[in-house]
Chains A and B, each alone.
Chain A
Amino acid sequence: MYVAVKGGEQAIDNAHKLLAEDRRGNPEHPELTLEQISEQMAYAVDRVMTEGSLYDRELAALAIKQARGDLVEAIFLLRAYRTTLPRLAVTEAIKTGEMAVERRISATYKDLPGGQILGPTFDYTHRLLDFKLAAEGEAPAPAERVDSAPDATMPRVSDFLNNEDLIELELPDSDETEVPDLTRAPLDFPADRATRLQNLARGDEGFLMALGYSTQRGYGRTHPFAGEIRMGAVAVEVVPEELGFAIQIGEITVTECEMVNQFKGSATSLPQFTRGYGLGFGHCERKTMAMALVDRSLRAQELGEDADAPAQDPEFVLYHSDNVEASGFVQHLKLPHYVDFQSELETVRTLRSEQMATLTKKAAE
């Protein structure tokens, strides 16, 4: 347990001044603008929005600047700001099927309506450092454009499988008003899927990726295929009480991953593929893939599978996924624990002297 301490105000003040000076860095170099961060560090902004659980590019860029690029610290800043906002609305469920697709790939079907669309991706790059980027001022070649119109509809891969009844259906709940919200009520167990998905959506990417990886290596294997990954803009609508009809308040960019997993069937049901789902703000493909793996793993009990791997244990996963909580508890260890430590020092000294006394006595005999 840590204890309150007094004093040190001047030193703390000075430490923060030093931090501010270091944050600015060498004043001979131009200061970063929020626009530069938002435009050129876009994936950092996306991660901070996703795990900070607040879609606002400008605020996420500010948090990144303030945190000197420490993304977990930036996520903490955004979460703290989030708590100051009054909740003005709950949106209608976004329709990812009607997304203005910027990327859409499937690892299960080569040819599919709407096509495989790579979009802006690191895939198929050589991962060689590009020293052209180190030289300033060179504009990239403009992106190619083609005139062919995109396919009017881009059905989900899961819809093809649905048509043959080969994959489990995802149907809306009968009661759509009671959706659990972790920002209003603390995590409780057993946690239903809506609670788990909210937790995973704001969960730490590194933690979820390691857990997802562990399932691939055999700790709770689910035999996944990336059925579909899509990224793009979706409209956001709210129905204000005072109006009583839906209005579009804007658009947000999201990434969605649907994993298709094996399932052996049971005495009462024919074998069918099962699903894992991942969704996040901005372009966050790795995160949503990991989320989909873990979402599926957490359904082990519901699907009658053995649940003995870490990724299949809801309490283990959901209690440790939040990097704001995790960072707080890990880092609290550096706060003053002087009293605790003094008592432990006493204990160790006593134990040692008792044992020494016994040993000396034995030696004398």
Chain B
Amino acid sequence: MNQKSTIVPELKERQRWMRVLAMAPVTALEDAWQALDDRPDYTLLRAPEVGSAMVRARAGGSGGQFNMGEMTVTRCVVRLSNGTAGHAYVAGRDKRKTELAAAFDAILQGEDRRIELLPSLIVPLENKQQTHRHIRAQKVQATRVNFFTMVRGDNQR
């Protein structure tokens, strides 16, 4: 299960775009898809399917695992005419978004398209996601507080 020790650079790259695609709004993926000049044909190896994922957590944050509850998830697998399979598992119930994420995953595995699509699609989406996170973090940081302990019975004279 744990592949972390054997992660190769290409795999890390793929994990990165799969993450960015999963976190992107469907409208952004739809616009990008429509804007592709040569949209490839693909077949659905596994049509978009909505289901659940059981979320695991750890007692005390670091201890034994327990099942905390489920979340909705949608999965899809597509295949391009050249045989490349694209996969997507996306939180939520958006079938169209998941299908587009799988299609882009397939396309991005081809080196030619990757050179074009990484800077034109993935990087801008990732930047947007980071900006959003950054603004939120700035607002949260404004609520950082320093408490001063009042010594009981310490009357000033």
A246 at the interface (CB under 8 A from B): yes
A66 at the interface (CB under 8 A from B): no
Smallest CB separation, B60 vs chain A (Å): 3
A116 at the interface (CB under 8 A from B): yes
Smallest CB separation, B116 vs chain A (Å): 23
Task: Say yes or no: B91 contacts A250, CB within 8 Å.
Answer: yes
What is the bound-complex CA distance between A148 and B92, given in angstroms?
A: 33
What is the bound-complex CA distance between A34 and B91, given in angstroms?
A: 18
Q: Say which residue of B11, B66, B89, B139 sits within 8 Å of A198 (CB atoms).
A: B66
Residues in chain B near residue A170, CB distance under 8 A: 58-64
A119 at the interface (CB under 8 A from B): yes
The 8 A CB mask of B39-76 against A (1 = contact, 0 = none) is: 00000000001111111111111111111111111010
What is the bound-complex CA distance between A202 and B68, given in angstroms?
A: 8
Task: Say yes or no: B89 contacts A85, CB within 8 Å.
Answer: no
Among residues 78 to 103 in chain A, which have CB atoms less than 8 Å away from a CB atom of chain B?
Answer: 82, 85-94, 96-97, 100-103
Q: Say which residue of A91, A248, A256, A258 sits within 8 Å of B55 (CB atoms).
A: A91
Name which of B14-22, B29-37, B118-126 contacts chain A. Answer: B14-22
Size of A's binding interface in residues, CB under 8 A: 85
What is the bound-complex CA distance between A53 and B55, given in angstroms?
A: 10
Residues in chain B near residue A150, CB distance under 8 A: 137, 140-141
CB pairs A–B below 8 angstroms (13 shown): A54-B69, A87-B53, A89-B73, A94-B56, A100-B136, A102-B140, A118-B145, A147-B138, A170-B64, A193-B59, A198-B69, A248-B22, A251-B23
Given contacts A119-B143, A145-B139, A171-B63, 17 further A-B contacts (CB under 8 A): A55-B69, A91-B54, A97-B61, A100-B137, A101-B140, A117-B144, A118-B144, A145-B135, A145-B141, A170-B61, A172-B63, A179-B66, A183-B54, A193-B59, A246-B4, A249-B73, A280-B68
Chain B residues in the interface with A (C-beta under 8 A)? 1, 3-4, 7, 11, 15, 18-19, 22-23, 49-73, 75, 77, 87, 89-93, 133, 135-147, 149
